[in-house]
Amino acid sequence: MSDSSEKTEHFDFIREAVAEDLRSGRFSQVHTRFPPEPNGWLHIGHAKALFVDFGIAQDFGGVCNLRFDDTNPEKEDMEYVEAIQRDIKWLGFDWGDRLFFASDYYELLYSLAQKLIRKGLAYVDDLDDEQIKEYRGTNVPDKNNITYTPPGKNSPYRDRSVEENLDLFARMRAGEFPDGAKTLRAKIDMAHPNLLMRDPVMYRIRRVPHYRTGNTWCIYPMYDFAHPLSDAIEGITHSLCSLEYEIHRPLYDWFNQNCDMFPSRQIEFARLNISHTVLSKRWLLQLVLEKKVSGWDDPRMPTIAGMRRRGYPAAGILDFLGRIGIAKTDSMVDIQLLEHCIREELNKRAMRLMAVLNPVKLVIENWPKGQVEWLEAVNNPEDPSAGTRKIPFSGELYIDREDFREVPPPKYYRLFPGNQVRLRYGYIVTCTGFEKDPAHGDISVITCTYDPATRGGDAPDNRKVKGTIHWVSAEHALPFEARLYDYLFEPERPMEVPEGKTFLDNLAPNSLIIERRAVAEPATREISVGQTVQFERVGYFCKDPDSSAAMAVFNRTVSLKDSWTKIEKKQQEIVH
């Protein structure tokens, strides 16, 4: 992870808590962990979590583990493990030799469960899932519509003897009982105001092969049991997690205390919410399974893989995470801030090229027949070390249809009959006419003349030419497919839907538009898959893995228009 003080200055309340733990002697060092479940690919919400986990460890000279909390074999796969590791490394984080799996601890977790049974703090229950929910109770409104939680009921099997519970638990492990027939539950308090403390399930019977342990086990620990004990086994000092786990904290502490384990401390922070986006593996998996997107790495997805394929640089994502900070309460972050951070990073390092997405031919009538000039173009005006390149200029060019109007609207400074424009790096041209396709009525050819004295775009007579447009030499044009991505969801809050609707009803109809007529300058041939460039006046584009020798594919990373700076300026004006 890059060392940047501004990227951690917003960790204040977490930093203060950690610093106090070190001052008081509660802990002598800082040891955090990033604990993904391998049941999906990482999204930018996970990136925020690992940014915090690794960042706090770095700030205090500690270490951070990568541990896969793999306790649910029905949904987990080695594919997810590999994808998660790939994404973490791409973002710039390094766990070194501290890679662990909760499944490594299955035998130890089993013995700790036995320990709780011997202490009289766990029992084997014969109630099924529905009965457990019924006995546990629920939150209900009283006569004043204030929510309260009436006491639950003890299971009729709660008072089994230690010996019977140890025997039944061993037989559960041995596979004597069918799936769902029995569970192991902690014996805490069925009248506890926190429903999670009402004898939570610790183990359930599931005859499902595990992607690492195979058929060795037919009982699996529940997350709320395995997670705190895995932290304790690894000596994690600070278990940093999202705010939704705040209600789980008493249970986290109860398991570690009663198993006589290391006293890891849980600290919660608000999860990331971004406008026009859903950040839940459950919903993202539904998008994939129902083929609303092409896969986990679809460039419209908020997954790290999707953002990488779209062309987002890791540095831009980290800049975004540093700017939003870490809060104690949930809030919505405008996606335009993320796009702003991506633009700022790409503006510094992306090579400039010229491409035309919707081409129409421009013929220069007075150009010497067959002549080709090679003009010098700047690769990146923000980076002089990037140098220059040569681009061919000929008598037939392609320009974008948006850069010509038969009848121009007010304040239109581009090409129309009788008007002059600069051709980027080339010459000043004057429009002399146009032709239309008789079959469709579309403009097929635009004609113009050029001024030989204006090479480079400068007029020796200092005439005022307001418009500058980009172009591609028709003879040298490379065809490519442009995939124009936009927000996957139309509303700002996709999960807010009327009754009878689902979040899928909020999918934007035009989140992907494919333009197959696009052309680019010859230097585009040298762009490698995964490299992001700026097509001047068009946007930032990344070369996609679907590219072939015959046809390159470029994904629009982000447009050139930056609305966030305007939003930020208005907010500052309101404050002042």
Looking at the annotation, which residues are catalytic? 37, 271, 281
How many other β-carbons are positioned within 10 Å of the β-carbon of residue 491?
15
**Assigned token pair, 402:** 């948006």
How many other β-carbons are positioned within 10 Å of the β-carbon of residue 76?
22
Helix H segments across 60-185? 78-91, 106-118, 129-136, 162-174
Print the SS3 string covering 419-469.
CEEEECCCCEEEEEEEEECCCCCCEEEEEEEECHHHCCCCCCCCCCCCCEE
Rg (CA), the chain: 31
Strand, coil or helix: what is 220?
A: strand
Residue by residue, DSSP assigns 25-56 as TS-SS-EEEE---SSS--BHHHHHHHHHHHHH
d(CA 7, CA 55): 8
Strand, coil or helix: what is 84?
A: helix
The whole-angstrom distance between residue 6's C-alpha and the CA centroid of its chain comes to 21
Helix H segments across 137-292? 162-174, 223-233, 249-258, 281-289
Q: What does each C-alpha distance from 120 to 5, 116, 312, 407 come to in angstroms? A: 49, 6, 54, 87
- The DSSP output letter for 246 is G
Amino acid identity of residue 573, one-letter, is: E
